[in-house]
Amino acid sequence: EIKEYQILLNPEKMKHYDVSLDEVLNVVREMNRNASGGVLYEYGNEYIIRGILSTNILSELGKAVVKTVDDVPLLIENIADVKIGNKAPKLGLASNHGQAAVLITITKQPATSTLELTEKLDQSFVELQKSLPADVRISTDIFRQARFIESSIGNVQKSLYEGGIFVIIVLFIFLMNVRTTLISLITIPLSLVISILTLHLMGLTINTMSLGGMAIAIGSLVDDAIVDVENVFKRLRENRQKPKEEQNNVIHVVFEASKEVRLPILNSTLIIVTSFIPLFFLSGMEGRMLVPLGIAFITALFASTIVALTLTPVLCSYLLAKPRKNHAEEREPYMVRQLKAIYAVTLSWTMEHKKYVLCGTGVVLVITVVMFFWLGRSFLPPFNEGSFTINVSTLPGISLEESDKIGRMAEDILLSIPEIQTTGRKTGRAELDEHVLGVNVSEIESPFMLDKRSKEDMMAEIREKLGALPGANIEIGQPISHRIDAMLSGTRANIAIKLFGTDLNRMFALGNQIKTSIQNIEGIADLNVEQQVERPQLKIEPKRELLAKYGITLPEFAETISVMLAGETVSQVYEGNTAFDLTLKVNDESRETIDRIKNLTIDAGKRKIPLENVATIISSTGPNTINRENVVRKIVISANVEGGDLRGTVNAIRDKIDSDIELPEGYYIEYGGQFESEQAASRILL
């Protein structure tokens, strides 16, 4: 609820004292604004002259003179009530863990670190909590983007550690030499450090995608060093096995050995880099997400190549120059000898059965190509963000109080599920909320902690229980992926079936036919038809000939409706450093029924004419919202996908609609959402 100062006009008193709306407006727009009187110079001083009209005392506001009648001043308080009230209409309600609450959304600046900002906010909230009353509690665990970032970074770091450990194990098993293993391992952290410095110089940040690129690159990072070290190790062993007089200088052997593999190393790096180039042609949101991954991978790979061609030979010349005393390294490791023996047998067999090998390879190739086109496709892999974003919507036209009841029921259901930690719900929206929701929609943030079952099993239970809510449509997503869907198509779902046409009622009926037709397709969840429906309206249409007869202009007609019924903010009232609106409108009793609205008067010169005499006032219906794309009206049938096969699900939907639904002339369907972006990305990458 938002506080405001109100001047509530009494139309009967205005008529009795013959006061026009313009007279009232002229007074109230200026009565609470300070005036400037310039400056005064006296006794060597300069005085700023100010007329202090501003006040926050209700009785003083009511003493403003509207006009004088027979030398008697007519005051605001003679024709209106001056009071403090709440802005109307009330647009939303909020709760936390089922209790009434105020939800505050904090948006960071683009270049600000989310983790650092979150830490500072937590510290500020701890200090603020100390100064609040005992029954007021600050909860910061409803939605924290830092939670997802920390989890993602933790997962990538875990992958880096595990990858490094496996590399150590594999290197030692195959080389059986601590020094060669050490040389190879030095390349991993060094290459990553160079990559991070390069990203910093490029003005990029370390995020989940760039860390993912580095994690993918780990296997490739060590390849270059292994090839170089193994070849140097081999040539040094061969050099030591020669007669002493034929042995070459260690540095010369290392140089020649590195020179042998320099071109293959460079070529292999360029081949891998080339395979990542298509990523940089991706546009839109997918480009913003995947390009950092490609940059991180390529910089790490080039860093590894540079290290392999420069530092690795130097380390080899120092660490491998002298053999160990037991000369065990003069022989190949046992594992390598065994693998070579197996390889020799395998190679001999394949050379003797060339036709079978070629035929088998061809069959595998064909199967691979077929499987590539047969496998399901999706735009992005499913995230585990640790929180659900659940939309519960009913038909437009429902009151805020009734919608709030349904929202509370949904919260109670969610809190009964063991994995759900808490809930933060907003029904409708705040006064200046950038995220516009009707009062028929409740959005619930529900952080969760998985324990004994998967996220998919928990979502199935949530859908089943929330599906029992009377007259409610349910959409389940996650905070970031939910917003990605909204950016892609304006719809918070994976698939957006956009139906274009001309008549809203017919489009809504067709949308429900489409919903009925496709609801049993495997993989579809949260199937909803956009609630563009007719809702009650009170239409006030001017009788233009009568307006002209009485000399009432259309702007005067519009101003009367706007000010008398909706109210107009005419000034500001200050309480310390806080400003509150001063609103002018008629009192609630004069607008609580259609008949009373008809009896409101409009000024026509010196006369007051009942509104119904110059306007047609009828109860009607009209669309609650109008959505257009490329100037054509549209309605969206949205759905999420279970199982991950986005393209296969859309193809099944398209086939079902084509066979079951006959669209009238002038009506057509387009498919959007993640499916549209997946198609565009696939065309570029393939």
Write down the domain spans for the chain: 3-86+536-623, 177-332, 387-535+626-685
Task: Tell me what pLDDT residue 444 has.
Answer: 92
Residue 677 or 635, more confident = 635
- Per cent of the chain over pLDDT 90 is 32
More confident residue, 326 or 287: 287
Q: Can you list the alpha helix ranges (DSSP code H) found in 490-614?
A: 504-518, 544-550, 554-561, 594-598, 611-614
- In the predicted model, what is the mean pLDDT of residues 286-290? 77
Residue 675 — very low, low, confident or very high, per pLDDT cuts 50/70/90? low
pLDDT in tens, 473-499: 888 888 877 777 776 666 777 788 899
Contacts of 247 (CB under 8 A, 6+ apart): 239, 240
The predicted model gives 207-215 an average pLDDT of 79
Higher-confidence position of 177 and 303: 303
Token pair 């100062």 in the structure block, residue = 5
Q: To which residue do tokens 């009485």 refer?
A: 550
Give the CA distances from residue 472 to residues 124, 236, 400, 506, in Å, rounded to whole numbers and listed in that order: 39, 76, 14, 22
Q: What is the pLDDT of residue 552?
A: 92
* Rounded to 5°, angle at Cα 426 from 672 and 397: 75
Alpha carbons 85 and 100: distance in angstroms, whole number: 20
The more confidently predicted of residues 441 and 113 is 441
Answer for the pair 4, 84: CB distance below 8 angstroms, yes or no. yes
> Any residues with CB less than 8 A from the CB of 443 and at least 6 apart, and which?
389, 390, 391, 392, 425, 426, 435, 437
pLDDT in tens, 138-162: 988 888 888 877 877 777 677 767 7
pLDDT tier for residue 638 given thresholds of 50, 70 and 90: confident
* φ/ψ (deg, to 5) at 56: -120, 20
Region 173-198 average pLDDT: 81
Q: Report the side by side order of strands in the sheet with 568-575.
A: 80-86, 3-9, 578-586, 568-575
Specify the amino acid at residue 427.
T
pTM of the entire predicted model: 0.72
pLDDT tens digits, residue range 348-399? 999 988 889 999 999 999 998 888 777 666 666 666 778 889 989 888 878 8
Distances in whole angstroms, Cα of residue 521 to Cα of each of 427, 492, 511, 524: 31, 20, 16, 6
553 backbone dihedrals φ, ψ, rounded to 5°: -80, 160
Structure tokens at 66: 């509207």
379 compared with 227, residue with greater pLDDT: 227
Question: Residues 634-647: what's their mean pLDDT?
Answer: 82
Between these two residues, 362 and 504, which has the higher pLDDT value? Answer: 362
- pLDDT on residue 324: 58
What pLDDT, on a 0 to 100 scale, did the predictor assign at position 569? Answer: 92
Q: 57: burial class by Cβ within 10 Å (0-12, 13-18, 19+)? A: exposed
Q: How confident is the model at residue 47 (pLDDT cuts 50, 70, 90)?
A: very high
Run of H or E including 568? strand 568-575
DSSP string over 603-642: EETTEEEEHHHHEEEEEEEEES---EETTEEEEEEEEEES
Element (H, E) at 7: strand 3-9
Angle value at C-alpha 15, between 82 and 553, nearest 5 degrees: 100
Does residue 167 have a pLDDT over 90? Answer: no
Q: Determine the average pLDDT of the residues in 300-324.
A: 83
Q: What token pair was written down for 505?
A: 């009622």
Q: How far apart are CA 394 and CA 392, in angstroms?
A: 7
pLDDT score for 23:
92
Do 525 and 463 meet the contact criterion of CB atoms below 8 Å apart?
yes
Q: Is the pLDDT of residue 196 over 60?
A: yes
Residue 437's pLDDT band, with cuts at 50, 70 and 90, is: confident
The pLDDT value given to residue 683: 64
- Type and span of the H or E element at 670: strand 668-673
Chain centre to alpha carbon of residue 492: 9
Residue 610 contacts residue 548 (beta carbons within 8 Å): no
Q: 3-86+536-623 has which CATH code?
A: 3.30.2090.10
Query: So what's the pLDDT on residue 537?
Result: 86
In sequence order, what DSSP letters do the residues of 410-472 get, joined into one string?
Answer: HHHHHHTSTTB---EEEEE--TT-SS---TTEEEEEEEB---SS-HHHHHHHHHHHHTTSTT-
β-strands 3-9, 578-586 pairing: parallel
Higher-confidence residue: 333 or 300? 300
The segment with the largest mean pLDDT, out of 82-96, 196-210, 243-257, 340-354, is: 340-354
Look over the chain and give the mean of its residue pLDDT values, rounded to a whole number: 85
Which residues have a Cβ under 8 Å from the Cβ of 374 and sit 6 or more positions away?
Answer: none
Please give the average per-residue pLDDT across 221-247, as a whole number. Answer: 81
Q: Is the peptide bond before 542 cis (omega within 30 degrees of 0)?
A: no
Other beta carbons within 10 Å of 6: 21
**Of the spans 223-227, 246-250, 387-391, which averages the highest pLDDT?**
387-391
- What is the reported pLDDT for 199? 86
What is the tens place of the pLDDT at every residue in 546-599? 999 999 999 999 999 999 998 999 999 999 889 999 999 999 898 889 999 999
Assign 680 to helix, strand or coil.
helix
Cis peptide before 89 (omega within 30 of 0): yes
Q: Considering Cα of 202, then 206, then 212, then 214, what sign does the dihedral take?
A: positive
Residue % of the chain over a pLDDT of 70: 93
d(CA 60, CA 32): 10
More confident residue, 346 or 683: 346
Instruction: Estimate the crossing angle of helix 674-685 against helix 479-489, to 10 degrees.
Output: 80
The separation between the first and the last C-alpha atoms of the chain, rounded to the nearest angstrom, is: 54
How large is the average pLDDT for residues 229-251? Answer: 83
* Range from 337-346, 435-444, 501-510 carrying the lowest mean pLDDT: 435-444
pLDDT tens digits along 655-668 = 999 999 999 999 99
Interatomic CA distance for residues 531 and 512, integer angstroms: 10
CATH number of 177-332: 1.20.1640.10
Residue position matching structure tokens 């929180």:
387
Q: Count of H helices and E strands in the chain?
A: 22, 23
CATH of 387-535+626-685, one of 3.30.70.1320, 3.40.50.300, 3.40.50.720, 1.20.1250.20: 3.30.70.1320
Higher local confidence (pLDDT), 264 or 153: 264
